[in-house]
Every structure is written in C-alpha cells, then in structure tokens.
C-alpha cells in the first residue's frame, strides 16, 4: 500500500514538472513569435536580384545570401487546361416577334431526322 502511494506521488510530480515545462515552452514560443513578427520585416526597397523569379526563404549574413530555400517561377505561357471543353453551336438569334423557322434543340443541334 505504501509503495502505491509513493508511486502515485512520484507520477504526479513528474506530470506536474512536465506541465510546468510545457507552460514555460509555450510562453517562450509566443515571445519568439512576437519578436520575429516585429524584427523580421525587411527594410524598405529591399530586393534580391537574380536571374529569375523566386519565392521562398533566404538566410542572409551581412547582405550575403547564406542559405536559400526557394522555388523558381518559370516564365512563359500559362498552362493549358487538361481537358478542352467541346465547342457548342449557338442557336440563331431569335426575332422577338416570331418563332425560329427550324426547331433548335437544347443541345444546340438542329433536327437529327428522328420522328417524335
């Protein structure tokens, strides 16, 4: 019985220490995020000149790129759609006072020769 009480007390102490450590870590993480938000803004008109257009993250030391993790954007035509939609025939314009001479069906094709 006494061993169980000691084991429970030790378990509770370990959980309490872990809980306090997680609270301290979350406070430090929040402080770091605030510091980054305030200090990670580039100076006005800062620009990286390269032989293309890139998006990513750069690590600089005395205005020299030390590490660059970026993706290059290729210039050229925009990608074509994988599936080209079919071309539809448009029905002839209707005179607002008369009906069309030939029936025009919903899919845009004229009479298929079916009787119905």
Residue with tokens 């061993």: 3
pLDDT at residue 106, as a whole number: 57
Q: Is 7 domain-assigned?
A: yes
Each residue's pLDDT tens digit, 9-58:
999 999 999 998 998 899 999 999 888 888 877 778 877 777 878 888 88
Q: Is 79 domain-assigned?
A: no
Q: Is 101 domain-assigned?
A: no
SS3 59: strand
Q: Is 10 domain-assigned?
A: yes
pLDDT at residue 69, as a whole number: 92
Q: Is 49 domain-assigned?
A: yes
Q: Domain range holding 15?
A: 2-73
Each residue's pLDDT tens digit, 63-103:
888 998 998 887 767 667 777 766 777 666 665 555 555 65
SS3 113: coil
Contacts made by residues 35-44, CB under 8 angstroms, sequence distance 24+: none
Q: Is 90 domain-assigned?
A: no
Q: Is 105 domain-assigned?
A: no
pLDDT at residue 49, as a whole number: 79
Q: How many structural domains are present in the chain?
A: 1
- Kindly list the distances between the CA atom of residue 54 and the CA atoms of 44, 51, 65, 107, in Å, as whole numbers in the listed order: 19, 9, 14, 46
pLDDT at residue 111, as a whole number: 54
């Amino acid at each position: 019985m006494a061993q169980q009480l000691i084991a429970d007390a030790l378990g509770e102490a370990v959980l309490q220490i872990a809980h306090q450590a997680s609270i301290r870590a979350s406070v430090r993480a929040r402080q770091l995020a605030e510091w980054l938000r305030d200090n990670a803004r580039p100076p006005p008109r800062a620009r990286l000149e390269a032989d293309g257009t890139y998006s990513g993250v750069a690590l600089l030391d005395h205005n020299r790129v030390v590490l660059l993790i970026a993706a290059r954007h290729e210039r050229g035509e925009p990608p074509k759609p994988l599936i080209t939609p079919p071309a539809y025939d448009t029905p002839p314009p209707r005179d607002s006072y008369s009906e069309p001479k030939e029936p025009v069906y919903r899919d845009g094709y004229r009479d298929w020769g079916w009787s119905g």
